[in-house]
């Protein structure tokens, strides 16, 4: 059985994690709560020790769901499945955007709302300190200094161990880094979604983890993979007798030792396939074709 260790490791902050992690965004739309919990537990059994979540991963009303019914928080699913947490488990979360009571997105959150989101994460995960909090930006031109200063203050209070940033430009990364050290940058990135490709080498040089989201979905983003798969992805999948999703994940991990994958799924077979991608190796010629 292939486990998450096959992808190699990276020191995220002060803790070594397997580079194949798990993203929790797609857990909450699953109407079968028990299935979501089984997937989380199975992921940890298979060596996943880096789990990504967010204060705003909630349905209905969250990123992937606009229906009605009782709210399901990814953070609560994680707690129900995995608490008490193994000391090797690293929980990364995001704050920034929020949901108003009417279900609409609130992007211009106040500094007090940032604190409230951190406190909500602490409460729902049932921890005294969050391993990593990424400031999720909704604008690539807005200043980040005041918000990052607010998170740095929470870190100084002992509520957060490490800080990161998400959906950021290099200028915003530099602005945040001038306030407090960064251990991760989390941006959209895939074989066919390379707006931020230049950041990968830059973060490698700085020793900062680069954590792509939409590595499988690519330009399909929240809607999932599109049918317009690049020819090279399809051909290499056939050559290796693996799925196109696995080629996408394996390519992601080939981009640098500091690149961490966080594919999300609510299906156990997809989980097994994702983790198996961490053992897949491509030749230089194949990588050149994918590039």
- How far apart CA 148 and CA 130 sit, in angstroms, is 16
Which of 10, 22, 57, 210 is flagged as catalytic?
A: 57
Closest CA to 120 of 169, 75, 162, 157: 75
pLDDT tens column, 190-240:
998 889 999 999 999 999 999 999 888 776 565 555 557 888 999 999 999
85 catalytic residue (yes or no): no
pLDDT tens column, 2-49:
999 999 999 999 999 999 999 999 898 877 889 999 999 999 999 999
Closest CA to 218 of 229, 208, 209: 229
End-to-end CA gap in the chain: 30
* Pairing outcome for strands 130-136 and 90-95: parallel
- How far apart CA 165 and CA 134 sit, in angstroms, is 5
- How far apart CA 66 and CA 58 sit, in angstroms, is 10
Q: What residue ranges define each of the domains in the chain, with the CATH number in brackets?
A: 13-225+255-280 (3.20.20.100)
pTM of the predicted structure, to 2 decimals: 0.92
For residues 34, 40, 46, 48, the Cα torsion angle rounded to the nearest 10 degrees is: 180
* Pairing outcome for strands 22-23 and 50-52: parallel
Does residue 244 carry a pLDDT above 80? yes
DSSP letter at 261? B
Task: Give the H or E element holding residue 230.
Answer: none
- How far apart CA 61 and CA 59 sit, in angstroms, is 5
DSSP letter at 50? E
Residue located via tokens 């499945």: 81
pLDDT tens column, 73-125:
999 999 999 999 999 999 999 999 876 666 666 776 789 999 999 999 999 99
- How far apart CA 86 and CA 269 sit, in angstroms, is 24
- Could you tell me the pLDDT band of residue 66, with boundaries at 50, 70 and 90? very low
Q: Are 40 and 12 in contact (CB under 8 A)?
A: no
């Amino acid at each position: 059985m292939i486990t998450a260790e096959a992808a190699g490791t990276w020191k995220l902050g002060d803790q070594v994690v397997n580079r194949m992690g798990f993203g929790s965004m797609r857990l909450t739309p699953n109407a079968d709560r028990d299935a979501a919990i089984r997937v989380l537990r199975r992921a940890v059994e298979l060596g996943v020790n880096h789990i990504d979540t967010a204060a705003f991963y909630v349905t209905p009303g969250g990123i992937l769901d606009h229906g009605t019914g009782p709210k399901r928080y990814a953070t609560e699913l994680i707690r129900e499945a995995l608490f008490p947490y193994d000391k090797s488990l690293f929980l990364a979360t995001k704050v920034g955007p929020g949901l108003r009571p009417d279900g609409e997105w609130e992007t211009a959150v106040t500094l007090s709302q940032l604190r409230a989101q951190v406190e909500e994460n602490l409460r729902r995960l049932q921890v005294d300190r969050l391993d990593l909090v990424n400031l999720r930006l909704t604008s690539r031109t807005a200043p980040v200094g005041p918000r990052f200063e607010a998170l740095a203050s929470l870190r100084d209070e002992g509520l957060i161990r490490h800080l990161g940033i998400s959906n950021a430009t290099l200028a915003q990364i530099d602005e945040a880094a001038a306030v407090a050290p960064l251990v991760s940058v989390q941006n959209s990135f895939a074989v066919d979604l390379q707006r931020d490709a230049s950041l990968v080498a830059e973060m490698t040089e700085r020793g900062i983890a680069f954590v792509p989201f939409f590595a499988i979905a690519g330009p399909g983003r929240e809607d999932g993979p599109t049918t317009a798969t690049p020819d090279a992805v399809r051909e290499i999948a056939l050559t290796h007798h693996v799925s196109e999703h696995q080629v996408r994940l394996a390519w992601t991990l080939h981009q640098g030792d500091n690149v961490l994958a966080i594919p999300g799924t609510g299906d156990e077979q997809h989980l097994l396939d994702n983790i198996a991608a961490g053992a897949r190796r491509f030749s230089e010629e194949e990588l050149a074709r994918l590039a």
